Each structure stands twice: as C-alpha cells, then as structure tokens.
C-alpha cells in the first residue's frame, strides 16, 4: 500500500469555533481522503482551551501567541469609536511587528519543524486571515523546498477595499513574497483569484477556486406555508440594509398585491435598521440558532431573501447563499447582477436576481414567487449544480490537483 501523504493545515480558526473561517478548515479535514492523506492541524489557541485534540481522526495542536496584542478585524457595522480604536491598535502593531498575532509565528515555526522531523510534511496548507499563517509557510517552504505549499485565501489581501494605503502596500509586498515560493493558491471565487494573480504572477503557480459551499445533507422537498413566509438569515451592516426590499413590500401592500396573510422572519438579525410602520406587524425576529436548526428554518420558508448591495469588491458569494441553495426554496436576491452570487443563482435556476436599487424589479420578483406559492409550484432547480456546491465536492477539487502534483 502506498504511504499516506502528510498534510499539515495551519489556521487561526478551527473546531470547535463557530465561524465560517473555521467551517472552511473543518471541511478540508473532514473530506480529504483518509486513505491517501494523514492530516495534522495547527490552530490558534483562540479556537480552543485545549492544547491538543483530535478532529475527524486528525491531530490538532492549539498554539498560543498573544491574546491581547493582535490585529483586530474591522467591520462596516462597528461604532466609530471602536473603528478608530482598532485602527490605532493595528497601526501600532504594524509599526512594531509584521505579524497579526505577535509571538504566534515562532510557535508555528517550531511545531512545523517538530512535525517534519517525526514525519516529513509533504503538503503544507496555510490560510489567510491572519497573515501569520502565510509567514510561517514562507519560513518553512524556504527551508523545505520539496514540500507542496498551498496558500488558501478565504479573504482578499491587498484587494480589500476597506484597508488603508499602508496596509495595502504591506499586503502587496506579502503577496509578491508568497508568489515567489507558493505552489498552489486557492480562494473562494474566481474574481478574488484574479486579484491575486496580478501580484503573484501566472507562471508556475496553480490557481484553484474552492468555494465555501454547504455541509449537510440536501433537504429537497415541496413545502408551502399557509401564511406566505419570507426569511432572511444573518445580519445587516454598513450599506447592507433591507430598505429597498421594504420599499417594494410597502408599494405592493398599498397596491393590495400581497397575500392577505404574510410574514417576514429575520434569523439571527439585530434590528439596526428602520421598518416602515405598515410592515412592522408582519416582521418577527428569531434568535440565532445552530446550523442544523437554521437549515430547517430555511427549508420551511416560501422565499429566502438575500440582500447584498453592489460594491467595488467582486467575487462575494456571502456565507448564507450556499445554505439557501441547498434547501431548494426560491431565492429572492437583491444583489449586483454582474457578480458571482447572481451568476450562481441563475446557473442553479434557484430564484430571482434583482438590482439592489431597482424597486420595480424587486416587486415583479416578489409577485412571481407569491404566484408559485399560491399554485404550489416549485422552480425547476438544477440539482446537478446544487449538489456540486457541497463542501466535500469543493475539497475534492483540491485533492484531485494535489494527487496530480
């Protein structure tokens, strides 16, 4: 029997952390062929209080850096005072250190050498954010050139529209350094991959789209509520607000084109937006639940609403889209019709794409979905396309490339 290849995955977020970044890394561990690969994980101690554990038969080492001195991620929904505080924190760390988690890289370096001495590391997968994982990857690859190095990019680096010029320049420099040594670059969408190609180069490096996907068994069945039910899962922040959706509903309500009874349920959503007075009685807020329960709620909805306004950034699917597609319920998407989310919904024949700002388009789509519900009809979903979005199929794409290399 051929000896198993040893893969080491280095990440900040991992089981048991409940975060989309952790779910991506969990999937690599779960779905790499255990007959072909032996898997070891090095994760941040932020993910777990344990120093050592096992997950899906993989060894997991939780290493600590500094829990206090580290880069803080900023979000458009932050209060201004917090944004300024985090900016100051990040600038100070960038001034004195090239690391996002000072002290963590050295711990990773030492553990990688220890693991390599015990059994040669054939494949090293590091994932961003933070940059520390790729810094450790650079250190290891420069000394062990025969190891295949995969740089996984869940997020943009220099292409991130929210960072300042200094941070952008730093990430451009890091992308060029990574590009000089890396063998494979993976990311969640083709537009984001194209951004990395600009600074890393197209020669020698293998670029591969590995989407996030869903990670549960498909729940395809016909279900029509007696009260027409819209569902939105997630939060609102920055320019992502339900204003145009509410405007369309208000106009349809005045025109008496909505069912006599309908409701809009918001799952795990904070009310940081205005609800028109005439719609308030139809809106309800559901507490955050675990993923299995969320999938059950989505699968019993008559229309799952996706709201993502156009922006400079391209290649954004949003985390919930794959779950929306997996439950075979109509998707109403208020999005950039030229970006990847709209393209995927069309490919799957899973719903209606509307320009985020086009009230008339949104109204027409709502009427079409209500008509389907009233007739108890389903869309002609492309099950082959939807099935391929399972995380195991996405991981298989990387596995096939590795076996060729």
Q: Domain segments of the chain: what residues?
A: 5-213+390-404, 228-387
- Among left, alpha and beta (phi > 0; psi -120 to 50; other), residue 103 is left
Radius of gyration of the chain (CA): 23
What distance in Å separates the CA atoms of residue 90 and residue 168, rounded to the nearest whole number? Answer: 13
Partners of 332 in the β-ladder: 305, 352
Locate tokens 């996405």: which residue?
394
Whole-number pLDDT of residue 336: 94
Whole-number pLDDT of residue 324: 96
The CATH number given to 228-387 is 3.40.50.2000
**Whether the bond into 259 is cis, omega within 30 of 0:** no
Locate tokens 């932050």: which residue?
78
Whole-number pLDDT of residue 18: 84
Whole-number pLDDT of residue 161: 81
What distance in Å separates the CA atoms of residue 141 and residue 125, rounded to the nearest whole number? Answer: 11
* Three-state DSSP string of 147-200: CEEEEEECCCCCCCCCCCHHHHHHHHHHHHHHHCCCCEEEECCHHHHHHHHHHH
Identify the CA nearest to 328 among candidates 266, 395, 386: 386
Domains 5-213+390-404 and 228-387 share a fold: yes
- Among left, alpha and beta (phi > 0; psi -120 to 50; other), residue 306 is beta
Partners of 9 in the β-ladder: 41, 125
- The 8-class DSSP code of residue 128 comes to E
What distance in Å separates the CA atoms of residue 4 and residue 35, rounded to the nearest whole number? Answer: 7
Partners of 229 in the β-ladder: 263
Whole-number pLDDT of residue 95: 63
In terms of DSSP bridges, do strands 206-209 and 228-233 run parallel, antiparallel, or are they unpaired? unpaired
Number of neighbours of residue 401 by Cβ within 10 angstroms? 17
Q: Angle 158-10-87 (CA atoms, 0-180°, nearest 5)?
A: 40
H/E segment holding residue 133: helix 132-143
The pTM assigned to this predicted structure is: 0.87
H/E segment holding residue 61: strand 58-63
Whole-number pLDDT of residue 73: 65
- Among left, alpha and beta (phi > 0; psi -120 to 50; other), residue 283 is beta
Whole-number pLDDT of residue 217: 84
| 18 token code pair | 């409940």
63 φ, ψ (degrees, to nearest 5) = -110, 145
Return the SS3 of 308.
Answer: coil
What distance in Å separates the CA atoms of residue 161 and residue 53, rounded to the nearest whole number? Answer: 37
| 311 token code pair | 């922006």
Q: 65 with 136: CB under 8 angstroms?
A: no
Q: 61 with 111: CB under 8 angstroms?
A: yes
What distance in Å separates the CA atoms of residue 209 and residue 314, rounded to the nearest whole number? Answer: 14
In a structure prediction context, what are the per-residue pLDDT tens digits for the chain, which is 405 residues long? 578 999 999 999 999 988 888 999 999 999 999 999 999 999 998 777 788 899 999 999 999 865 556 666 665 556 767 767 777 777 776 666 666 677 889 999 999 999 999 999 999 999 998 999 999 999 999 999 999 999 999 889 998 887 888 889 999 999 999 999 999 999 999 999 999 998 898 788 999 999 999 999 876 667 899 999 999 999 888 888 999 999 999 999 999 999 999 999 999 999 999 999 999 999 999 999 988 899 999 999 999 999 999 888 788 887 789 999 999 999 999 999 999 999 999 999 999 999 999 999 999 999 999 999 999 999 999 999 999 999 999 999 999 999 998
User: Residue 289: is it exposed, middle or buried by C-beta count within 10 angstroms (0-12/13-18/19+)?
Assistant: middle
Whole-number pLDDT of residue 70: 66
The CATH number given to 5-213+390-404 is 3.40.50.2000
């Amino acid at each position: 029997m051929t000896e198993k290849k040893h893969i080491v995955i280095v990440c900040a977020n991992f089981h048991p952390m409940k975060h989309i970044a952790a779910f991506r890394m969990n999937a690599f561990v779960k779905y790499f062929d255990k007959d072909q690969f032996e898997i070891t994980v090095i994760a941040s101690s932020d993910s777990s209080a344990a120093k050592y554990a096992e997950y899906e038969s993989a060894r997991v080492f939780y290493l600590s850096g500094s829990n206090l001195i580290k880069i803080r991620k900023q979000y458009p929904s932050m209060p201004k005072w917090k944004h300024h505080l985090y900016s100051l924190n990040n600038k100070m760390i960038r001034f004195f250190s090239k690391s996002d988690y000072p002290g963590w890289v050295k711990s990773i370096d030492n553990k990688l050498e220890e693991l390599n001495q015990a059994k040669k590391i054939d494949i090293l997968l590091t994932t961003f954010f933070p940059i520390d994982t790729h810094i450790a990857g650079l250190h290891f690859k420069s000394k062990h050139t025969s190891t295949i190095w995969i740089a996984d990019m869940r997020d943009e680096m220099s292409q991130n529209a929210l960072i300042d010029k200094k941070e952008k320049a730093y990430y451009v420099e890091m992308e060029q350094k990574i590009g000089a040594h890396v063998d494979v670059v993976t990311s969640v969408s083709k537009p984001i991959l194209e951004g990395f190609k600009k600074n890393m180069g197209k020669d020698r490096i293998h670029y591969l789209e590995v989407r996030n996907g869903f990670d549960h068994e498909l729940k395809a069945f016909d279900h029509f509520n007696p009260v027409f039910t819209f569902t939105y899962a997630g939060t609102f922040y920055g320019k992502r607000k339900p204003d145009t959706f509410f405007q369309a509903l208000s106009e349809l309500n005045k025109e008496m084109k909505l069912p006599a009874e309908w409701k809009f349920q918001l799952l795990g959503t904070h009310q940081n937006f205005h609800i028109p007075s005439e719609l308030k009685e139809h809106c309800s807020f559901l507490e955050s639940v675990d993923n299995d329960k969320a999938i059950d709620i989505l699968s019993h909805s008559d229309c799952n609403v996706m709201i993502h306004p156009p922006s400079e950034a391209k290649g954004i699917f949003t985390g919930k889209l794959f779950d929306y597609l997996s439950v075979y319920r109509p998707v109403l998407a208020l999005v950039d019709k030229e970006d990847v989310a709209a393209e995927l919904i069309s490919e799957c024949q899973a719903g209606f794409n509307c320009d985020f700002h086009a009230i008339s388009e949104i109204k027409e789509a709502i009427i079409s979905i209500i008509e389907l519900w009233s007739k108890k009809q389903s869309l002609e979903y492309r099950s082959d396309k939807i099935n391929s979005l399972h995380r195991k199929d996405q991981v298989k794409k990387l596995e096939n490339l590795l076996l060729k290399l």
